[in-house]
Amino acid sequence: MPNVCGCFSGGNSNKTPSALWASCAPQALEDAETWIGLAASYDRLRRFDLADQAYAQAIKLTGETVQILNDRGYSYLLRGDLAKARAKFLKAYQLDPTNPTVINNLQLLNASYRFIERVP
């Protein structure tokens, strides 16, 4: 984790990642990495409403970067929205077709389609 605002040092070792990121966000409003980290933490907590807000803040600062597109794709994958996940992963892939994380996530998504029951 980056130490954008000094939140990850000292007596903060007992805080959850989302609590640390949330305490950093007000101090680092212009730092996209902080917002991306906060969004990922909310994704892990399944607080997708808050993750979407944090991703939106990061996008305001940098636009839709490969990292943000990939992370949002993974967020949609966690939600079970495979169509939106695929759209984000493919957009990230178009920007950087050699990115190993994006490639792996596309492979993960393709593998997950095999386990979904489809109505004929």
**What distance separates the 2 farthest-apart alpha carbons in the chain?**
57
**pLDDT score, position 31:** 84
CATH 1.25.40.10, applies to 64-120: yes
- Which pLDDT tens digit goes with each residue over 37-88? 889 999 999 999 999 999 999 999 999 999 999 999 999 999 989 999 999 9
Q: Count Cβ atoms below 10 Å from residue 28 Cβ, excluding itself.
A: 19
Please tell me the pTM assigned to this model: 0.75
Cα three-residue angle 86-105-59, rounded to 5 degrees? 65
CA 112 to CA 86: how far, in whole Å?
11
The domains of the chain are located at 15-62, 64-120
